[in-house]
Chain A
Amino acid sequence: MVTGQASLKRNGVQDYVTTRATALIMTAFSLFMGWYFIATPDITYAIWNNLFSGLAMKVFTFVTLVSIMFHIRIGMWQVLTDYVKAPGLRAFIQFVINLTAFVYVVVGLFVLWGV
């Protein structure tokens, strides 16, 4: 699926499944963070640092970042093919968006690595 999602030509069934699966992961992460902020009375740097030091949390965060990237890639492709009809301009905007999403993943990886 990962190679499929990296390709240029889109596949309807695969995109449908991917957007829904990534949406679930993103929802789970948001709910978890929401719960964490409510359940933790006061969050110091040490507690915050400790949260991200476990491997499970690192994986969860990284998977969420990758999910966001795929979700953006597919969702924005759909929006752009609706509203931007000039192929050159659309390719350019799509490229900038995909690159930004990719940079988020890479930067996120470095941040997690450093914890």
Chain B
Amino acid sequence: MQLNLSVYRYNPDVDDAPRMQDYQLEVAEGQDMMVLDALIALKEKDPTLSFRRSCREGVCGSDGVNMNGKNGLACITPISALKGSKIVVRPLPGLPVVRDLVTDMTQFYTQYEKIKPFLINDDKQPPSREFLQSPEEREKLDGLYECILCACCSSSCPSFWWNPDKFIGPAGLLHAYRFLADSRDTATDERLNGLDDAFSVFRCHGIMNCVSVCPKGLNPTKAIGHIKSMLLKRAV
């Protein structure tokens, strides 16, 4: 069986413009594989092809790419799940391209930094051993802490494409809510102050692209909704 792929190629040092390059791959009849396996096989034939990957099992978040128009992790997307006669692989949309499928994630991380992604507790010295939560308190962090910062969501969000310098984006906001919802965090007001403007949170218009692409099955829109109601409650 022959696998047809079309991969985005761009090396700013030598290319004037990006182009799509076609590749054929021979695979055993009926054999399935992950898109990442196909990319690795292509790289063996053409070592100039560049992409990021590390864990190859959906844990590290390095190989977020756009496959047949939808963002996802190449390592956990089987080629059988992609429709059409050709597999089209492009870098994550909206982010500057460093080379081929490798994007510059600075904007994404800058937004992540803004929300202070660490526990702030100024009550007292943290307990010398465990910092205990009740099972109910801990449960509030489910669906938030699992994010691996792959940027599939933020780079699929039109609001983030147009204002990546002002809108925090779904990934950052999911983390913001992860700390707002944490019973051990005492900086709720300070965190909300940092989000209380016309762009950081309110540029989310509930388009829900983020929800449809998240490879970990998380729901940033829901978390953003919680932040919006916290901001609203504070204002009235």
Q: Does B111 contact A (CB under 8 A)?
A: no
Please tell me which stretch of A8-16, A43-51, A57-65, A98-106 contacts chain B, meaning at least 4 of its Cβ atoms lie within 8 angstroms of it.
A8-16
Q: How large is the interface on A (under 10, 10 to 19, 20 to 34, 35 or more residues)?
A: 10 to 19
Chain B interface mostly: loop
Q: Hey, which chain A residues are within 8 Å of B231, CB to CB?
A: 12-13
Contact assessment for B163 and A81 in the assembled complex, using a CB-CB cutoff below 8 Å: yes
Proximity string of chain B (111-124) to chain A, C-beta cutoff 8 Å, 1 when within and 0 when not:
00000000000000
Contact assessment for A15 and B198 in the assembled complex, using a CB-CB cutoff below 8 Å: yes
A54 to B11, CA, bound (A): 70
Q: Does B197 contact A (CB under 8 A)?
A: yes
Q: Does A42 contact B (CB under 8 A)?
A: no
Contact assessment for A13 and B162 in the assembled complex, using a CB-CB cutoff below 8 Å: no
Q: Does A17 contact B (CB under 8 A)?
A: yes
A12 to B203, CA, bound (A): 9
- CB interface residues, B 203-217, toward A, < 8 Å: 203
A16 and B163 contact, Cβ closer than 8 Å, known pairs A10-B198, A11-B198: no
A13 to B201, CA, bound (A): 10
Interface Cβ pair total, 8 Å cutoff: 32
Q: Hey, which chain A residues are within 8 Å of B86, CB to CB?
A: none
Proximity string of chain B (154-177) to chain A, C-beta cutoff 8 Å, 1 when within and 0 when not:
000011001100000000000000
A17 and B232 contact, Cβ closer than 8 Å, known pairs A11-B198, A12-B199: yes
Q: Does B70 contact A (CB under 8 A)?
A: no
Contact assessment for A12 and B196 in the assembled complex, using a CB-CB cutoff below 8 Å: yes
A7 to B184, CA, bound (A): 39
Interface centre among B162, B163, B231 (most CB of A within 10 A): B162
- CB interface residues, A 54-93, toward B, < 8 Å: 78, 81-83
A11 to B234, CA, bound (A): 14
Q: What are the nearest 8 A-B pairs in CB distance? A: A12-B202, A82-B162, A10-B198, A12-B198, A13-B235, A13-B231, A12-B197, A16-B202
Q: Which residues from chain B sit less than 8 Å from chain A, CB to CB?
A: 158-159, 162-163, 196-203, 228, 231-232, 235
